[in-house]
Structure formats: C-alpha cells, structure tokens
Amino acid sequence: MQHYKRFVLPLFLIRNLMERGLQMTKNPNAIVHEDIVHMANQPFDWNKLENTTVLVTGASGFLATYIVELLLYLSAYEKKNITVLALVRDKAKAQRRFKHHGTRKDLVFLAQDVCTPLDAGSLGPVDYIIHAASQASPKFYGSDPVGTILPNVLGTQHLLTLAQEKASRALLFVSSGEVYGNLQSHQIPNTETEFGYLDPMDVRSCYGEAKRMGENLCVSSWRQYCIPVKIVRPFHTYGPGMDLNDGRVFADFVADIVSDRDIVMKSDGKNTRAFCYIADAVLGFFAVLLKGDDGEAYNIGSERETSILALAEMLVTIFPEKNLCVVRHDVCSPAGYVGTKISRTCPDISKSKQIGWMPRVDIREGFTRTIRSYLMP
C-alpha cells in the first residue's frame, strides 16, 4: 500500500460543505481514516456515484461500515453528493458506530430487519443497493441457523423487489467464498464456476446454502425481470472493526495479540486460507458494482494461501516487545460454534483482475494495521 499523504481540506471546499449541511468529519481511528482516504484516491470512476442514493443493508456490520464510510467520504470531500440509506436492526448501535458523523444530512438510518419489506413509497429514489446484511460468524451457525439463512434469502428477495420498483442501476449481493463448498485439491485456486460438496443436511451449511440461494435469486431475477444484479464472493476478509469475539480463528488470534495473550492453537494449524485486508476487499466490491457485468459473480480475495499455524507464528512476531508465543494445545470450541470441514481455500481472481481490481496489502502489513487499530485510544 502506498504511503498516505496528510489530508488538508481547502477553504472553498469547507464553505461548500457547510452550505450543503455536511459535517467535516473523519473517522476517529487513524488506521481506518487512512484506509478510507486511500480507497477514495484509487482511479475508479467515482463519478458514477455522483448525485445518487445508495442503500446499504447491515450498515453497521464489519464490511458494510467501510462501505458506508467510503461513500460518505466521497460525498463530502470529493463532492459526489451521495445519500446513504443505512439499513440497520439496531439504530442506537449504528448511531454509536457512526457518531463522529454527527447529524449529516447525507446519512439516513433505516431501522428494521431486512427480512421485512421496505416501504418503497417512503424512500424516494434508490439508485444502488448493496446487500451486506448477514450473520457471517460461525458462532451463529449452530445457535441461530434460521437467522443466518433468512437475510440471504428472504431479505434478498425483498431487495430485488425494491430494485425493480425503483429501477435501480445495480444491486450488489455480498455473497461468500463458502458457496464453493469442499473443493478438491485440483480445483484450487478455484474460478467462479467450480464448486464442491456442500451437505444441505449439515447445519453448518446454513451459511453457504443461504448464500447459494441468494445468488440464484439474484441471477434468476436478472434473467426473468432484467434486474441489474452483480455478485461478489469475498474470502476470509479481516481488518479494523471486525468482531474479535466472532469465533473465527483470525479474529481470535488478533484478540490474543491485542490482549497480550499467547496464541493457543485449537488444531494442528495445517488448514490454509487466503486472507484479504478489508480495504482491498471493499475496493473489489466497488470495482464490481461500477464495472462488473450484470448477472455475474466475482471472487474477491487474496491469491496467497497461508496456513493457520503460519498465521499464528507470524502474528506473534509483529510486536516482539510483547514477548508472546504460539502454544499448541487442543481446546474445545465454544458453545454454538460449528467448525468447518474445509481444509483449504484460495480463489482464482483472474476475472476480477479483468475489471481492474487486485489486492495490494500483504498479509503482514494488513494484520499489523488491524492490530494497531485496536491498540489506539
């Protein structure tokens, strides 16, 4: 990632923002703010978002927070005049998460479950829809599998209906690399057309199967009703703002480093994953939204595989002054957590490269930034 430049707002732009009722705010976390500025400075055709209204579901979630922050930055500092409709279940929580934006007129909270149809008549124009509302943490797959399924199926259907009513320019469905199931070694890295076994009778499949059905609803609506849909399949995205208690191994490891604890392995660590930094992933989402083809899916992730053990061993070296180490010891998973049987994942991102996207942040830099974001006051 390039070095970040100090951001100074010209006086004429300050006056312009004040006249439009936009607050001149930045994210209080310096790492997040640097990421947002970096993303906004990429050579994307941001003009396609000018004078538009963007509905973002699950807006206070991990991935969606960065999406909202980028849109608000483009609206204010790049003068794109974007109105963000932030759909959230817990309005108070969302207001706390975005409190540094105060009462900006271009950020509107819609408090309801995505599984309930939106009142289209009260919304006005909706030019783009980014559907990122979903329970992505494995701790919910055992404790709330139905609640994991419905936002991706019922919620997706409601949003497709809205997109049709509003003649939206595009609906972006944030799917997952889990739709691929358990692939064979010769299929990895996998393209967007290679799939493995996913057992519908295994409760752990609630997430992958729901994403598959959400994708099929999208592409079926595109074919039958000409609703412009696009799909992204992110792989193991990490970064500032992720829930350190969500049960995923990389979140557990970051929590250990932040809390000055040795990393205790719960397996032999041989499974491999391709980890992608959140700023890279979100740029991938916008590349697909702005340049991807309708009715198509795109892998968004890193091309580099890293074993769980190698990740743990790397993380304890980032802050040597903490004097932490990796401890190999079997520990039972927490209640409700349903582990995966997939031993290896890595996407082929050739298709995303064709529309001008590829990840830039290497794993060490990304996790260093992530950990530092949690250590900031």
Q: Which SS3 state, helix, strand or coil, does residue 26 take?
A: coil
Question: Which residue reads 């997040």 in tokens?
Answer: 32
Four-point Cα dihedral 266, 359, 303, 64, nearest 10: 50
Provide the b/e sequence for 178-208 (b: ≥16 CB within 10 Å): bbbbbbeeeebbbebeeeeebeeeeebbbbb
Closest CA to 237 of 137, 348, 87: 137
| DSSP classification of residue 87 | E
Residue 207 contacts residue 334 (beta carbons within 8 Å): no
Question: Which residue reads 């609703």 in tokens?
Answer: 227
Provide the b/e sequence for 45-63 (b: ≥16 CB within 10 Å): ebebbeebbbbbbbbbbbb
Distance (Å, whole) CA 86 – CA 97: 12
| Choice among 77, 141, 207, 277 that is catalytic | 207
Please name every residue paired with 83 in a beta bridge, in sequence order, or none if there are none. Answer: 53
Residue 130 contacts residue 55 (beta carbons within 8 Å): yes
Distance (Å, whole) CA 313 – CA 307: 10
Distance (Å, whole) CA 254 – CA 232: 26
Query: Active-site residue 207, yes or no?
Result: yes
Closest CA to 22 of 91, 78, 97: 78
Distance (Å, whole) CA 342 – CA 154: 27
Q: Which SS3 state, helix, strand or coil, does residue 93 take?
A: helix
Helix axis angle, 363-375 to 308-318, nearest 10° = 50
Q: Which residues are catalytic?
A: 207
